[in-house]
Chains A and B, each alone.
Chain A
Amino acid sequence: MKKILFIEDESTLQKTFGDVLTHYEYKVISALNGEIGLRLAKSEKPDLILLDLILPRMHGFDVLKKLKQDSETEKIPVIILTNLEKMEDVEKAIELGAKTYLVKTQYKIEEVLDKIKKVLGE
């Protein structure tokens, strides 16, 4: 069973999307902010990380930087899942090593799932 770390501060999405991912037989690990997310990434070694950008305490980009700097977590693919949609943000995310950048309001849940499957190579 593939493990997905979901770093997102909106508890509604943690519940809703978490339920969907569980239904499709992924193990979901929730993190409500960046610090918890980094800790769990190291301890749980997920197969994929879904990362929001607007997070309390740490901006998503700082989390991404730290993930890619740490040898234990740098290989884990990261999908940015956010509502920010400026060109600069997308470019910065890809520059920092994210696999793909999805704007939440533009994607249906199934489409996000397809992307996840693609990144996980299924």
Chain B
Amino acid sequence: MGVEPTSFAWKANIIATIRHPPFCRGTRIRTEIKSSQRTRAAVALYPVYALSVFIKYSKVFSYSQSLLIYDIMVQYINMFKKIGFELNLVGQCKRYGLPLWQCPQFLFVVMGIIIILVSILSYLIGARYIVSPETVVLVVLIVTSILFVISFVITRSFERLAEASRMKSEFINIVSHQLRSPLTNIKWTFEVMASEEFKVPAEKQEEYFINVRENIARMVELIDDLLIVSKIEQGSFTMSKIEVSLKDLTRDLVERYRVFAEASRIKLSFYSQENLPNIFTDSSLLKIVTENLIDNAIRYTRGGGMVEIKLIREKDKVLFAIKDSGVGIHQKEQRYIFQKFFRARDISKERTKGSGLGLYVCKSIIDKLGGQIWFKSKLGKGTTFYFKLPIK
């Protein structure tokens, strides 16, 4: 005797979501976070579905218990067959590089099965010893929810471990690639200069030397950024706080960048409130942040645009705002902006050579100095970055 499965609208939704995931651009890691979220969603919803069927059918005594249980198992297995292939558990687990039993997706499926079995078991035990069906259902619900929470916590922690190990290897991949590009440039330029067969004329030699110097600077910049990042993450950053005039610091940087801005016909303006108080902070760290923000603003603004810097006092804090008329940041990518190596899609169109660490470093420093950093942006219109630092 077959049982007509109740058609829940969201059952179809689960399958639809897995078949057509929202278009996910960006780094590989974000794709993997999304796919593990999908796995969790899929597996989490099945015990819930099974439970709801329990609740519905347990009131109808014309079905024998064994049929009910059989029905649940069959439906779960069928659906899993449909979904399991698409989830590609083994593939996902391989990408983490962890043994199967540590892989969060696999664990979650195992937990799902355990939850179902325990639900069935508690239903059987409850139905035997408890008279009212409503109480039985309540007991089953409570037991299942507790198990659910436990399994969620367990798989979440394994998931964090797996993500951390993936980010580490991705980090190493990205860094080695970024170092390779300038290294190839230097290597090949040197080969040509050292070649006996190919005599480099005098004018070309000057060009080649400049190339080598630029590429060395690029590598140094990347390694410096990495060292800062490493120090920040290990907490071994030594700060020496002194009284710093943000106005003077910014003004010096603006003068230095003026030529760079003018080269692209970008109007660079600087306004500071009168009597802006000095702030008690680390001067070199603050310089790194300010320089990074100014550099970004100019670099990502098209020729003929403008960059405006404002310094204002707000109660017991000093506010730095830098506004540009540049490419802007897409709404969907805004929350990833401060992540390591994140390059917004539209930025990569302009420049493939940056280290991708600038904003991550800025945020880490400002956080460490006890301030806040944020931004407002509209794609195609421009971006304004802000940071606030306490005066004391």
Binding site for B on A (CB under 8 A): 9-10, 12-13, 15-17, 19-20, 23, 54-57, 83-84, 104-105, 108-109
Contacts and interface: CB of A to CB of B under 8 A. Distances in A.
A95 B183 CA distance: 29
Residue from B185, B188, B348, B352 having most chain A Cβ neighbours under 10 A:
B188
B188 A17 contact: yes
A105 B183 contact: yes
Given A10-B185, A20-B192, A56-B349, 11 more contacts: A12-B189, A15-B207, A16-B188, A16-B208, A54-B181, A54-B352, A56-B348, A56-B352, A57-B349, A83-B177, A105-B180
A21 B204 CA distance: 15
A10 B181 contact: yes
B352 A16 contact: no
A12 B352 contact: no
B191 interface: yes
Nearest to A58: B349
B170 interface: no
Interface of B: 177, 180-181, 183-185, 187-189, 191-192, 195, 198, 200, 204, 207-208, 211, 214-215, 348-352
B192 A83 contact: no
B221 to A, nearest CB: 15
| Secondary structure dominating the interface of A | helix
Nearest to A104: B184
A16 B180 contact: no
Contacts of B198: 20, 23
Contacts of B214: 12
A104 B191 CA distance: 13
Nearest to B199: A23
A84 B177 contact: yes
Given A10-B185, A54-B352, A83-B184, A16 B177 contact: no
Contact of A12 (B177, B195, B215, B351): B215
4 nearest A-B residue pairs (beta carbon): A12-B185, A83-B180, A104-B184, A12-B211
A19 B191 CA distance: 12
Given A56-B350, A56-B351, A16 B211 contact: yes
Given A9-B352, A12-B214, A84-B177, A105 B192 contact: no
A35 to B, nearest CB: 10
Contacts of B204: 19
A27 to B, nearest CB: 18
A44 B169 CA distance: 42
A45 B176 CA distance: 35
Contacts of A109: 188, 191-192, 195
